[in-house]
Structure 1
Amino acid sequence: MALESNHAQLNSSRISIRISPKIWPFLTTFAFSCAILVAVAWSLPDSEHKNIVFGILMLLIALSSWVQWKKSLRLHVTKGTLTLQSPLGIITPITNICHVAVDPKGTLYFSLYDPQLIYPPEKVGLIDQTMEEGGYNFTIQGISKPVALKICKACNLSPDHLIENELVPEEVIDVESFQALLLKKSPYAPISYALFAMNILLFLVMLYAGVDLFQPTTEQLLAWGANVGTKTMDGEGWRLLSCAFLHIGLIHLGLNMFVLWKVGPFLERLFGSTIFLIFYVVSAIGGSEASLWWNEFGVSAGASGALFGIFGSLLGYLLAKPPGMSVAIMSQLRFWAINFIVLNIAFVFFLAGVDQAAHGGGALAGFLIGLLAGLMQKNAILKNPILKQGVLMLLGVGICWGSWFMLQKETADKFLAIKTFERFGKEEESLLMKFTKGEAGVRKAQITEEEFAILLATEITPAWSEYATKFNNFKKVPSRWSGWYPDFVVYLKTQVEAQTLLVEGIKTNDKSKVEEAHEKFADAAEMVKKITTEMKAKSKNKSD
């Protein structure tokens, strides 16, 4: 700050002034926050911990509003005394104020003749510490300039007016000033606003096409590009990125776009538009890949993986300690990014319907690419901005392809097993109906036993045998299948053995083989009951 003195004397008069916060803005903010929280809770599926988590969040919002209200400015000037009830909680005679200054934002800076004249005495240490750090005994922040001047008039003091210096980023120590400096240097944030518009536009097009406003169906989401393993891993890799522009209802869209609108422009100005876009895309793909790895049966969509990723990018970037920022700014931004990632993951960890893998994967991918960007920023060899952006883009492609390769190696068998099981589920019913109709035809003398045996040998048993071989050869299957899958493979083999014995018994007129076949069919039926019970138990545990 530079100093522009103003020595005009104020008229001496006895003026009393009392400033205290109005309650209605805090109540309005609290009500609005609660309304959003209720809307989010309504949009998520029910779970055991849902009421507990949202109850805690509601209490935290109430506590935060109350604390903010309690810490708001409470000031009283009367009878020659300045009483600053909050946030400092001090009282001092007006005659003890030797100097007062006001900056363009309305912050008041006070210097005292004797800090020992402050009451209560235990606050003196705090005042002395502030004096050593900033050159003033204490400040009053968060008020407008007219209110600041009104306080000065009540104290019968003529303030000096501080004017802003042209600061470089390395000299700025508060985030607000740093943001203002970035805004002055880069007024526009085209990528952030383009991403915002693309998400909104796609959602409107979906609504026009008949997609539900609040609860789109799985089929609708898949038709518009949602991420699911059986499709993405089967030649539709474009879903890794398309799903990041797709949202599961208005609440989901609103929350993500609020974060993008508030945070995106600032980070884009900090990193630069091209680098910000690289961070966003790499994080979106990384989040989608993590979702496939963790949620073997899930359908995922939304920009949250990319949003967590740009916070992760900020953390990685700051870890490299690039030039252009003061230590104070880096510390504040680091705390801000960690808070966003940790608190958001922690509070929705127990909620069903929230893709935490996409959040974590996006944050990790963003952290890696952000760290590389920060290291490159320190590298004196890569001075050309276009060269830096090109190298970073190649590194981002490397991160995406490397993780994609590992994902395929780890999950290819699992998703092929899921797809095969879905196809088997559709075909099993028709195979069993053919078998049942064949048996009924033999009993009603509509077909001979030999014709039934031919039907089995040519149309039914080969299909069962093919599925038995496929499922037996899968090296990896979804973890959710671990309880019943071995029994399922045995069930398929038993069906094949029973049908083979039945065919042989009919062809050779061997009744013992026919009886053995029926025993195996009975065993297979018992296995179906056991498998069904295990699948229901596994499904219940998963939902719990």
Structure 2
Amino acid sequence: MPPADPRPPPSDVELRRTQDFVTRFHQLPGAAHAWTSATYVIVALNTAMFVFMGAVYDAGWFEPASMRAYNLFAASNGAATTDGEWWRLLTSMFAHYGLLHLALNMWALLNVGPFLERLLGRALFWLIYLAAGLQGGLLSIAWNRDRVWSAGASGAVFGLYGALLGWLLHQKHGLPRGLYRPLLTNSLFFAGCNVFFGLTRPGIDNACHLGGFAAGFVLGWLTALPVDRAVRARLAGGRLALAAGLVAAVTATGVAFAPRFNYSVREEFAWSEANRGRPEREQELIRRNNRELLRYQQTGDNRADYATWLTAEMIPFYAEWQQRLAALRLDPGQLTARRAAVIREVLRVKIDGYRQLEHGVRTRDPAGISAYVRAEQEAIRLIRGLDEGRL
């Protein structure tokens, strides 16, 4: 009979390794209270931002009811962010498009946050979370340019899962298989499902997700340390400094090479406000003018009333519109200012044309109508040139 193998069964070895890892893991410093936990602070900040935007800016609770808050400060957009409003990369990480968007991101955060916060340490956890959100935002700008108003914590949350995957791959030989495999499977499952949904559903900022995940993975790999308090006390400070330096360098590079745009979003908002309701009112006035002009040409019995209406309604409408646009303070080198200059010229031409028309109607001078027709043709030419990019 062969002698008994003195070594413990593999299952016992694996069990002891798992117990040892769990013991050492719980010896790592963690938050003393929920209010000092980075994970719960992040959840609270996201929730507070959501309530603030809904209550103060009527942003909506279940879906966006107004884009005002997102446009003003909460969301990141290539043209807005690169126009000196880089803080949008931060605010957009805490804003969400409705309760479901917020709930899904916070659920994903709570699934990984408490574990990863203890595994990495709070300082590194905060750094990776914010860095992933920033890098995701920068990649979103590079990819989406000014087509998307991006908001949500998903880029930063993706970064946490990326960091977990990076740490796992770096430390896989120091982890019991019973812990390594489920953690790795969960990380890959999260990444795979979100990539799939991002590619098959519209309206998802895949660039932000992938940028955040990649940033988290790199930082998780570079800063990975074994679950050993003595080793961490010796090396954690240097790894944190390395990560911070890398984040600063990559962020500065991303800012330097981000695309720039030939218009200011703030100026575009001011332009839209100055023109709000004007085109619709103009069409109403034009329809009435066409009726009155046709009647005047056919019977002439409305001559006095028509001339009075032109003086009281039509000409003041365009003059007031022209004054509104002239009051805008626009950068002369930007697209909005060039467009405004053309539209002001269109309004000047139309005002002159309607004055000629009013004079012709009042004095029964056909030349006034001819001058009005020429002015309308010139206004159409200017607008077409603007639409075709020639002006």
Matched, 1:393 2:251: no
Which whole-Å CA distance do the structure 2 matches of 1:211 and 1:416 have between them?
A: 19
Which whole-Å CA distance do the structure 2 matches of 1:235 and 1:345 have between them?
A: 31
Matched, 1:185 2:27: yes
Q: Which amino acid is the alignment partner of residue 281 of structure 1?
A: L
Does the CA-based 8 Å contact 2:262-2:334 persist in structure 1? no
How far the C-alpha of 1:280 sits from its partner, in A, is 0.1
Identity of aligned residues (%): 23
Q: Which moved further from structure 2: 203-212 or 307-316?
A: 203-212
Residues 285 and 518 of structure 1, relative CA distance in 2, 3 Å threshold = same
How far the C-alpha of 1:403 sits from its partner, in A, is 1.9
How far the C-alpha of 1:349 sits from its partner, in A, is 2.6
1:376-427: per-residue Cα shift (whole Å, max 9, x none)? xxxx9x96533432342233233333323333x4346474685466346428
What SS is found at the alignment partner of 1:349? helix
Residues 184 and 460 of structure 1, relative CA distance in 2, 3 Å threshold = closer
Matched, 1:313 2:163: yes
How far the C-alpha of 1:307 sits from its partner, in A, is 0.7
Residues 188 and 464 of structure 1, relative CA distance in 2, 3 Å threshold = closer
Matched, 1:282 2:131: yes
2:306 equivalent in structure 1? 444
Does the CA-based 8 Å contact 2:74-2:88 persist in structure 1? yes
Matched, 1:272 2:121: yes
1:540 equivalent in structure 2? none
Which whole-Å CA distance do the structure 1 matches of 2:373 and 2:40 have between them?
A: 73
Larger relative contact order (CA 8 Å, sep ≥ 6): 2
Residues 356 and 324 of structure 1, relative CA distance in 2, 3 Å threshold = same
- The partner residue of 2:256 within 380, 400, 405 is 405
2:206 equivalent in structure 1? 356
Which whole-Å CA distance do the structure 2 matches of 1:242 and 1:191 have between them?
A: 17
- Mapping of residues 117-156 of structure 1, within 5 Å: 134=10
Does the CA-based 8 Å contact 1:434-1:460 persist in structure 2? no
- Mapping of residues 104-503 of structure 1, within 5 Å: 134=10, 165=16, 167=17, 180-181=22-23, 183-186=25-28, 188-189=30-31, 190-203=37-50, 212-219=60-67, 221-222=69-70, 226-229=74-77, 232-233=81-82, 236-293=85-142, 294=144, 296-316=146-166, 321=170, 325=174, 336-373=186-223, 384-407=235-258, 409-411=259-261, 413=263, 415=265, 418-419=268-269, 422-423=272-273, 425-426=275-276, 428-429=278-279, 432=282, 444-446=306-308, 474=335, 495=346, 499=350, 502=353
Which whole-Å CA distance do the structure 1 matches of 2:223 and 2:191 have between them?
A: 20
How far the C-alpha of 1:220 sits from its partner, in A, is 7.0
Which whole-Å CA distance do the structure 2 matches of 1:197 and 1:464 have between them?
A: 43
Does the CA-based 8 Å contact 2:112-2:161 persist in structure 1? no
Return 5+ residue gaps in structure 1 as ranges: 1-98, 104-108, 110-133, 140-160, 168-175, 476-487, 532-544
TM-score w.r.t. length of structure 1: 0.48
Which whole-Å CA distance do the structure 2 matches of 1:312 and 1:226 have between them?
A: 25
1:131-179: per-residue Cα shift (whole Å, max 9, x none)? xxx4xxxx8xxxxxxxxxxxxxxxxxxxxx88954x4xxxxxxxx7687
Which whole-Å CA distance do the structure 2 matches of 1:474 and 1:208 have between them?
A: 35
Residues 412 and 314 of structure 1, relative CA distance in 2, 3 Å threshold = farther
Does the CA-based 8 Å contact 1:461-1:500 persist in structure 2? no
Residues 206 and 324 of structure 1, relative CA distance in 2, 3 Å threshold = farther
Which whole-Å CA distance do the structure 2 matches of 1:243 and 1:466 have between them?
A: 32
Please identify which structure carries the higher helix content. 2
Which whole-Å CA distance do the structure 2 matches of 1:426 and 1:197 have between them?
A: 38
Which whole-Å CA distance do the structure 2 matches of 1:197 and 1:462 have between them?
A: 47
2:374 equivalent in structure 1? 516
TM-score w.r.t. length of structure 2: 0.62
How far the C-alpha of 1:308 sits from its partner, in A, is 0.7
Does the CA-based 8 Å contact 1:282-1:396 persist in structure 2? yes
Q: Which amino acid is the alignment partner of residue 199 of structure 1?
A: N
1:221-242: per-residue Cα shift (whole Å, max 9, x none)? 5399521436545554433223
How far the C-alpha of 1:277 sits from its partner, in A, is 0.9
- RMSD across aligned positions (CA): 5.6
Greater CA radius of gyration, 1 or 2?
1
How far the C-alpha of 1:278 sits from its partner, in A, is 0.4
